[in-house]
Structure 1
């Protein structure tokens, strides 16, 4: 029997089989007596592993009746506890290393947030007062203590913030910036690579997340906490999962901090731009520093692969911000759908929770239709379209003048009305003055309508981290 939505060969399991390689688990529901168990199993695996699952439901199964009594009992979402002996050995070894450390650092990566360990990481920083750094995909996992929507027109705001961060004992006062191997700012690179102990939380050691594998840690005293194992120097402890292990560490670590441990200074981050005439054209380096001061606590900030993902590294988030990026797979266009999903979730949590999307003009052309769904569902994200006339990251890697790295220009200011929006704001900013006027407007800070802001840049203007990363990628592509 040949049906639509198939390959026409009578094999109805092909998509199920195709999904097996990219999912934690899959199920094909062809037996009503086990269907509910299989659904519950997949849901538990998805939740406890934080990875996708696939459930295939043949159309003839959809309307079959099952008992509703199982809905009265919640699915058991508990995880298998860590082996006590293994965890004790890990914690004892780590405590010994901490007791001897003079210049330790904490390095936080993507899997700490993906596997719900943000609280444990923050507590570790608070107790130890060790300098803490994030990777590109780890940004948003810990408090950074940015301005948080305060009055930027106050001439003393940056001095006050600098004093607060340098003298406090909270997590934000310990934040030192983003570590990307050799792409890091010199002061960040120096601090991390000269540490005598590195506590790594949720590492995701992919090429773009590590500055093309350019980590140069100067110590072998490295502890890696992962979602399914812990590594202490060269010893691997399978099943000693990050969340429980860090909770155990936090309960004991205060007793072993060196009596003579001196709290280390952290690199100072740039908080303000040098004043520029209002007619000055926008640049990447100026824009990202400026937008940093407009962010507010509890924002959800989503950055597209490419320019946005690298530009956001120049910002300092306020506390309690959720950062969403996707440097591992690097699928351009993902961020628009992600912003839709985040906006739906944020709307359920609080009507005041802002979702802010930064997406390139090229990436937007892949998934622009999701903006229509945003309007349909009456969510109000901020959509910043970074218009640099094509695929700048690809131009820098291979083909500055290549025609295939250019795109058909769109009239971005007509996108919202095209999709039927009635309560919206669409603006284009091209200069320092226009940008300041927009961000200084109190009404712009309130997410009471969907907004699309087109930000105009020179086609080859790019964040410095992207320029360096593109050079590395180009060399790799050449086989060097």
Structure 2
């Protein structure tokens, strides 16, 4: 073929950057575009239950594969997705949001079309997306369209932020040269300014030479901006004690002998808190310093020698170096850091907390024991997804095996996010390794917001573990305010009937209420294999929660009640 349609060009380009599943919903302004997905071998259309869930799914897929694509229709569809897109923007996740928009002639004539506000303004929704997108464009010219598509895909991948692409219905079938596909999209980072980079590296090395008690702290963007390998090598070469934040969980191998635990300010264990806060040098990689990620901003460093490595700037003490990317700085640092750290004498890292002992097999299940015990069930390569609420806090107590990827939307915190995310992560995991397990922990309240996406999992034969924490309502909200308030209550569902309701034929359901039932289930060899989709209802006391969440809830309530 000497020519292909612009629609096919778009999906061929996405396939070239390893995006093999497209999320979204059909709408009349994108229907012809969706036809082109089936023209690309190996490409599939997920077909979500609603646009919000589709955005969540794209987020989960992108966290595992590095980038995702979402297709919605103009107005009604794209606006339904924006909460999910905003979360991806806040948490540095690369999602290309493709919107099928009315034809260029309809826009030019300002026709009173459906899905508009009735005022002839076809740009309003595009403008809404601009504030939560790294870049936006609506294609208007077929001659420049392929290059524009390439540019937007590159930005999505490099910047790890959502990008908006409006594609008019009349351009989808327009021909473009097929030979344009022969040149790969350049996904490499542009080099740093050499002088600024060298100044950063030299300053960091000098601080390392002088440090007696340094630590490494890895946060969310260690994973998002692909510097996990560099961070691991930095730990290996320096032997500095190393910690993660809640958002950074999984960024450092928790089996590494120099891993010391999860640092959450005042919510940390006493040993972790003392180790981090007594440091005389902190190498902070990929920080996203939100309230729930820092114990309500309760970091109490005793030193001003803090170096923040970010995707697009470096901060050394009070000096900021804009545009200096951490990927190259870390790579250059690794060439000389071992020599700079040669006088450092390794100190012991905080010991891994011992698993909590059960009071007996008939003991009612409680969260403090559950999250401590969970590490025994997890395997190398697992993707562990925890919903905002008790799960997102409890998982900090769980010791991960090597190569475990944690997903928890700590910053944006949109309740129900993880159902769609589990779908996207399960698609991504299947593409990487069919034996890779995807494990969700979600509260009964959160599940009610996005439960429909379980039907999409069943439709595609995906095999995640769906652990539903049934504590009869919004426990995290009850802990913050309104323990007995009606607005924190929900309708109790028959969770074990959900898979059958959504049409599953091959599935498992389990109900767990005691320590013994949990141990029997999770120690089963058959259960450990992801051979089918499973829903496990875990019954917990209403106000039971991890200790860290109880403390965080008190801090949040106090902050919310402050008078100016």
| TM-score (normalised: structure 1) | 0.93
Task: Find the counterpart in structure 1 of residue 87 from structure 2.
Answer: none
Distance apart, 1:77 and its partner CA: 1.2
| 1:274-285 superposed matches below 5 A | 274-285=357-368
Task: Find the counterpart in structure 1 of residue 41 from structure 2.
Answer: none
Gaps of 5+ in 2: 1-110
Task: Find the counterpart in structure 2 of residue 359 from structure 1.
Answer: 442
| 1:11-160 superposed matches below 5 A | 11-145=121-255
Are positions 1:461 and 2:549 aligned together? no
Deviations 1:421-472 (A, max 9, x none): 1111111100011001001111000001001111111110011111111111
| 1:5-404 superposed matches below 5 A | 5-145=115-255, 172-259=256-343, 261-404=344-487
Task: Find the counterpart in structure 1 of residue 84 from structure 2.
Answer: none
Task: Find the counterpart in structure 2 of residue 157 from structure 1.
Answer: none
Give the 3-state SS of the residue equivalent to 1:208 in structure 2: helix
Rounded to whole Å, the distance in 2 between the matches of 1:37 and 1:400 is 55
Rounded to whole Å, the distance in 2 between the matches of 1:262 and 1:43 is 46
Runs of 4 or more, structure 1, over 4 Å off, are none
Deviations 1:11-54 (A, max 9, x none): 22221111000000001112222221211111110001000001
Rounded to whole Å, the distance in 2 between the matches of 1:348 and 1:304 is 24
Distance apart, 1:8 and its partner CA: 2.4
Give the 3-state SS of the residue equivalent to 1:417 in structure 2: helix
CA contact (8 A) 2:358 2:369 kept: no
Rounded to whole Å, the distance in 1 between the matches of 2:267 and 2:149 is 45
Rounded to whole Å, the distance in 2 between the matches of 1:414 and 1:462 is 26
Structure 1 stretch 58-67 or stretch 71-80: which is displaced more? Answer: 58-67
CA contact (8 A) 1:101 1:258 kept: no
CA contact (8 A) 2:425 2:438 kept: yes
Give the 3-state SS of the residue equivalent to 2:175 in structure 1: coil
Give the 3-state SS of the residue equivalent to 2:247 in structure 1: helix
Rounded to whole Å, the distance in 2 between the matches of 1:357 and 1:8 is 42
CA contact (8 A) 1:105 1:132 kept: yes
CA contact (8 A) 2:358 2:515 kept: no
Give the 3-state SS of the residue equivalent to 1:45 in structure 2: helix
Rounded to whole Å, the distance in 2 between the matches of 1:61 and 1:199 is 49
Rounded to whole Å, the distance in 1 between the matches of 2:388 and 2:462 is 23
Structure 1 stretch 443-452 or stretch 77-86: which is displaced more? Answer: 77-86
Rounded to whole Å, the distance in 2 between the matches of 1:387 and 1:117 is 37
Rounded to whole Å, the distance in 1 between the matches of 2:453 and 2:120 is 33
CA contact (8 A) 1:86 1:237 kept: yes
Are positions 1:414 and 2:490 aligned together? no
CA contact (8 A) 1:424 1:451 kept: yes
Give the 3-state SS of the residue equivalent to 1:240 in structure 2: coil
Deviations 1:89-119 (A, max 9, x none): 1111111111111111000000111000100
CA contact (8 A) 1:208 1:469 kept: yes
Gaps of 5+ in 1: 146-171
Task: Find the counterpart in structure 2 of residue 4 from structure 1.
Answer: 114
Rounded to whole Å, the distance in 2 between the matches of 1:124 and 1:64 is 50
Distance apart, 1:317 and its partner CA: 0.3
| TM-score (normalised: structure 2) | 0.79
CA RMSD across the alignment:
1.0
Deviations 1:313-353 (A, max 9, x none): 00000001111111111101111111101100111111110
Give the 3-state SS of the residue equivalent to 1:340 in structure 2: helix
CA contact (8 A) 1:25 1:53 kept: yes
Count of residue correspondences? 453
